[in-house]
């Protein structure tokens, strides 16, 4: 039987496939939402395990969901606007919730009047019962009427609290100081309960997470600040200071790496989304 001899073309194609495979793997991981600089991703920048490369991201990046279903009635701010914690972003239609609140508040006023009348009657009967003008049964009936009125009043007040909560759920508010980055909805569109409708970010500080080789574990625990090189362009690669905010207390045995979280102060030209690398020239093995 004759065996075919691989041609130069086929050998070149196999070599190109082997070179392209890591790039394809990285692109696939990004598409799946997996960090390709995670602890199990091998880089060819050095023989070290893990990767000191990562992407800068805002200290807070929150995707807000609606607590109730409804129709968007208005936006209180435009995309890109600065927000303080507690500021409203958008409101859903709330006519039914306003009517419910008015109804429960009216119930509170009615039960309050009943409670005052029942309390006055009980206070009137109590001394007369002590003088045997009213019987013990009449005193018990007056006290029971007063307690029932008090219970109905408490229930009405609880209904007001619930109605106010339902009304508040019709407004989406910012939980942090930051920027209203974007929304995928418009006025008049329907929103489902727990559907993500807005994104708020705080880019006043930046965060970077890397996975360092185990040999740097002891050394990194001894320092508080490090240098980070940011790759803005081929002509701009500034080096900025970063604070070591957190280091995992254990080393992942499967990868031989540990997670390091860095915090960077906001600087001119340095923005979330830029790739960066942690520089460790001062650390010994």
The whole-number pLDDT of residue 117 equals 95
The C-alpha atoms of residue 246 and residue 226 are separated, in whole angstroms, by 13
Neighbours of 142 (CB within 10 A): 22
The whole-number pLDDT of residue 29 equals 39
**Fold designation for 95-168:** Helix Hairpins (1.10.287)
* In contact, 58 and 206? CB cutoff 8 Å: yes
Model confidence pLDDT, tens digit, residues 160-203: 999 999 999 999 999 999 999 999 999 999 999 999 999 999 99
**Fold designation for 65-92+170-198:** OB fold (Dihydrolipoamide Acetyltransferase, E2P) (2.40.50)
Kindly report the CATH number that applies to the domain delimited by 31-59+203-279. 2.40.30.170
pLDDT band at 222 (very low <50, low <70, confident <90, very high): confident
Model confidence pLDDT, tens digit, residues 10-41: 444 444 444 444 333 333 433 344 444 444 43
Model confidence pLDDT, tens digit, residues 233-270: 988 999 999 999 999 999 999 999 999 999 998 877 88
pLDDT at 77 over 80: yes
Per-residue pLDDT, averaged over 209-225, amounts to: 91
Model confidence pLDDT, tens digit, residues 98-147: 999 999 999 999 999 999 999 999 999 888 888 888 888 888 999 999 99
Do the domains spanning 65-92+170-198 and 95-168 agree at the CATH topology level?
A: no
Phi-psi region of 84 (alpha: psi -120 to 50; beta: other; left: phi over 0): beta
The whole-number pLDDT of residue 43 equals 37
- Please give the residue that has the higher pLDDT: either 149 or 129: 149
Domain ranges of the chain: 31-59+203-279, 65-92+170-198, 95-168
Rg for the chain, CA atoms, rounded? 33
Least confident of 6-20, 63-77, 152-166, 217-231: 6-20
């Amino acid at each position: 039987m004759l065996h075919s001899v691989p041609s130069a073309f086929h050998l070149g194609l196999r070599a190109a496939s082997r070179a392209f495979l890591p790039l394809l793997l990285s692109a696939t991981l990004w598409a799946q939402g997996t960090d390709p600089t995670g602890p199990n991703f091998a880089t060819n920048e050095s023989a070290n395990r893990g990767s000191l490369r990562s992407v800068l991201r805002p200290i807070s990046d929150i995707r807000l969901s609606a607590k109730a279903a409804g129709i968007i009635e208005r936006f209180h701010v435009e995309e890109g606007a600065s927000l303080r914690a507690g500021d409203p972003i958008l409101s859903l239609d709330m006519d039914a919730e306003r009517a419910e609140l008015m109804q429960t508040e009216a119930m509170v006023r009615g039960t309050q009047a009943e409670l005052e009348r029942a309390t006055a009657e009980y206070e009137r009967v109590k001394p007369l019962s002590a003088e045997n003008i009213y019987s013990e049964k009449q005193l018990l009936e007056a006290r029971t009427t007063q307690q029932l009125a008090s219970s109905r009043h408490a229930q009405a007040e609880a209904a007001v609290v619930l109605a106010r909560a339902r009304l508040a759920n019709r407004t989406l508010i910012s939980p942090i100081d930051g920027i209203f980055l974007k929304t995928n909805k418009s006025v008049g569109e329907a929103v489902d309960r727990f559907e993500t409708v807005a994104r708020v970010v705080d880019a006043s500080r930046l965060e970077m997470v890397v996975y360092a080789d185990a040999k740097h574990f002891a050394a990194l625990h001894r320092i508080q600040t490090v240098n980070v090189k940011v790759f803005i362009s081929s002509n701009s690669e500034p080096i900025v200071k970063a604070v070591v905010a957190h280091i995992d207390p254990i080393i992942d045995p499967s990868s031989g790496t540990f997670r390091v979280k860095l915090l960077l102060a906001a600087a001119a030209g340095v923005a979330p989304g830029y790739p960066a690398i942690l520089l460790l020239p001062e650390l010994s093995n």
